[in-house]
Structure 1
Amino acid sequence: MVYILLIIGFALLIVGANFFVDGSSNIARGLRVSPLLIGLTIVAFGTSSPEATVSILAALEQNAGVAIGNVVGSNIFNITLVVGLTALINPLKVENVTIRKEIPFTLLAGVVLYVLISDNLLQGASQNLVTRADGIILLLIFAIFLYYIFEVARQSRESMTGERVSSESESETVKWGKSLLLALGGLAAIIFGGDLVVNSATTIALSFGMSETLVGLSIVAVGTSLPELITSVTAAFKRESEIAIGNIVGSNIFNILFVLGAASVISPLAVTGKIFIDILLMVFLTVLLLVFSRTNFRVGKGEGIVLILSYIVYMVYIIIRN
């Protein structure tokens, strides 16, 4: 029965995220927001809502390993497998502003997280924790990111004043009632599905002798990252590179700063020694993505293969490590 509940939970996460993204994207287009900003905000936050739900619920249930492992594992999955598969379908064009600002911001978030959890190394504490104070710091940095996004959105809207007529006609085609219903219904499915995934995956993992951290890094991380994968692959087929890369970068920023920030404010998260290696790998992969993005301002098929192979090697490593 627990396996059936896990499958139902994943299905609700995927379907709910799709509804939420569709409804929210329609609303965003009606409000005249650029594709990159849609990817960085509405789509990214929507596809990251499973991670938020799972990690926050895990924090409430004192499953710190699942809460942290889910975020770190999801980010690694996004940078490697999601970017890799998307680039294989259609090379990802990366805007100059994304290379200069958004990806470095993701890198900053990863480094800040590593510093905040290094209590034993930096303060001589007996235990490494993501404390409530650490959570507040992460949320404050997230607020700075939101302010930056709002400023970019404002400038984007001002630059589109010359296209007011076409924008207004597009706005009129948006079915606001249907879009709101899709967004709210999708969010409800995500919350319920996230609860099923946390409970079912933890039960299964413990029955097999797996650690909570490994569960978060693998089963739960992959499951909650499926919306990012589906959305980015769909965007690649439609040649919407801005939405695809914006979704990935925005999701990773949201996961570290908001998800872990909110989860640790609810309940301080104990950090295991193994997760330090995973966070360092996440930071390294973010640097690698930045390097790949700077080559002709795109992530090509060859680079996509390197990223996919990196994820396969990582999965083998964490399974052996457990």
Structure 2
Amino acid sequence: MSYVLLLLGFALLIKGADFFVDGSSSIARLLNVSPLLIGLTIVAFGTSSPEATASIIAALNGNPDVALGNVIGSNMFNITLVVGLTALLSPLIVTNATLRKEIPFTLLASIALYIFINDQMIEGAVESTLSRSEGLILLLIFCVFLYYIFEVARTSPREQKIVQDFAIKPTWRKNIFLSILGLAMIIGGGELVIRHSTAIAFSHGMSETLVGLTIVAIGTSLPELVTSLTAALKKESEIALGNIVGSSIFNIFFVLGTAATITPMHVDSRVVVDLLLLIFLTLLLLVFSRTRYTVGKYEGLILASFYIGYMVYIIWRN
């Protein structure tokens, strides 16, 4: 039965992503808001809902290895495989704003987390933890990021005034309905995928850390993958890239910040190595994005290959 529900989850993810990209990109055009901004907020936070749900539940249940592994594994999946496969379908155009602010902010998020979880090296502690106070700091930084995003939206020049008349209301209603329906299908599909893929994984004797870094991370990141691939096929590259970058920022600052605020999290020393690799790969994405302001097919192939190598490594390590 778990396998059937797993397939149902995949189906909901795929169709939900199609509805969500259509609705959110249309809303962006109606509001004269940059698709990148929509990708960084509505799409990114919506597709990160499974990560938030899984990590917060894991923290409440006393499974910090799953919670932390989920976020690091999800971001690794986003930066490498999601960017890589999306770029293979359609080169990702990198705007100046993304290059100067959003991608470096993603790198900052990973570096901040590395400092917070490396108590043994930095402070000489017996063990490393992500404390409540550090969780609150992560949430505070997330609020600063949200303020920046809304300031960009408020000060962005608008090409034309929106006419609020009866004729446009059906278009608004349709796109809002599509966005909400798509988001519900994405979250529901993600929940089915993570619940039943985790049950299948545990039945095969996998450890909590490995489950968090692989099955849970991949399962909760499927919305980002499907949404970004769908956006790329629809030539909405700004939504695709904004979704990936926004989700990675959301995962560290909001998801881990909330989970650590609920309960302090013990850190497996092996996760520190995974986080160092994530920092390197985020830096590599930043370098690639400087090449003609585009992440092309060649760079996408390199990033996707890194993820395959990473999967082989952590399975062997376990």
**Same fold, judged at TM 0.5 (above):** yes
CA distance in 1, matches of 2:13, 2:130: 26
Matches within 5 A, 1:80-229: 80-156=80-156, 159-160=157-158, 162-164=159-161, 172=168, 175-185=171-181, 196-197=192-193, 199-229=195-225
Determine helix, strand or coil for the equivalent of 1:164. coil
2:45 counterpart letter in structure 1: F
CA positional deviation for 1:179: 4.5
* Structure 1, 294-303 or 116-125: larger mean CA deviation: 116-125
AA partner of residue 46 (structure 2): G
Inter-CA distance 294–200: structure 2 relative to 1 (3 Å threshold): same
C-alpha distance in structure 2 between counterparts of 1:69 and 1:120, whole Å = 19
Alignment match of 1:272 (pick from 258, 268, 273) = 268
Deviates more, 1:288-297 or 1:56-65: 56-65
Q: CA deviation at 1:267?
A: 2.1
**Measured at CA, do residues 53 and 182 of structure 1 come closer, stay the same or move farther in structure 2, by a change above 3 Å?**
farther
Q: Which residue of structure 2 lines up, in the alignment, with residue 252 of structure 1? A: 248
> How many residue pairs are counted as aligned between the two chains?
318
**What's the counterpart of residue 76 of structure 1?**
76
Partner of 2:56: 56
CA shift for structure 1 position 182 = 4.7
Q: Distance in 2 between matches of 1:172 and 1:226?
A: 34
Output the CA distance in 1 between the equivalents of 2:202 and 2:42. 35
Aligned counterpart in structure 1 of residue 311 of structure 2, from 311, 315, 319: 315
Give the Cα separation in 2 of the matches to 1:179 and 1:144.
29
The change in CA–CA distance for 1:195 and 1:224 in structure 2 (over 3 A counts) is closer
- Deviation per CA, 1:216-251, whole angstroms, max 9, x where unpaired? 111111111111112211222222221111111111
What residue number does 1:296 align with? Answer: 292
Shift of 1:201: 4.2
* Alpha carbons 1:10, 1:223 under 8 Å: kept: no
CA distance in 1, matches of 2:258, 2:206: 26
CA contact (8 A) 2:190 2:223 kept: no
Shift of 1:141: 0.5
Letter of the 1:227 partner, please give it: P
**Would the aligned equivalents of 1:106 and 1:249 in 2 still touch at CA under 8 Å?**
yes
Report the CA distance shift for 1:174/1:112 in structure 2 as closer, same or farther (over 3 A).
farther
Label 1:23 to 1:270 Cα distance change in 2 as closer, same or farther (>3 A). farther
Q: Distance in 2 between matches of 1:188 and 1:201?
A: 20
Aligned AA for 2:292?
N
On the 8 A contact 2:139/2:254 being kept in 1, the answer is yes
Provide TM-score, normalisation by structure 2: 0.89
Tell me what 2:231 maps to: 235
Amino acid at match of 2:215: I
The answer as to whether partners of 2:194 and 2:219 remain within 8 angstroms in 1 is: no
- 8 Å contact from structure 1 (residues 31, 171) kept in 2: no
Of the structure 1 ranges 267-276 and 231-240, higher mean CA displacement relative to structure 2 is found in: 231-240
167-176 or 247-256, which deviates more: 167-176
TM-score (norm 1): 0.88
Compared CA separation, residues 313 and 188, structure 1 to 2 (3 A):
same
User: What is the identity, as a one-letter code, of the residue corresponding to 2:295?
Assistant: V
Does structure 1 retain, via aligned residues, the 8 Å contact 2:43–2:243? yes
Rounded Cα–Cα distance in structure 2 between residues aligned with 1:195 and 1:239: 28
Amino acid of the structure 2 residue aligned with 1:246: G
Retained in 2: the 8 A contact 1:53–1:190?
Answer: no
**Gap runs ≥5 in structure 2:** none
Q: Summarize deviations over 1:72-116 as a string: whole Å, max 9, x none.
A: 111111111111111111211111111111111000000000111
CA deviations over 1:182-220 (Å, ceiling 9, x no partner): 555555555555555555444433332211111111111
Q: Is the 8 A contact 2:86 2:229 kept in 1?
A: yes
Give 3-state SS (helix, strand or coil) of 2:161's partner: helix
Q: Deviations over 1:142-169 (max 9, x none)?
A: 111111111111121xx11x4226x768
> Whole-Å Cα distance in 1 between the matches of residues 241 and 233 of structure 2?
13
Q: How far apart in 2 are the matches of 1:89 and 1:120?
A: 43
What is the CA RMSD across the aligned residues, in angstroms? 2.6
Distance 2:7 2:62 in 1: 23
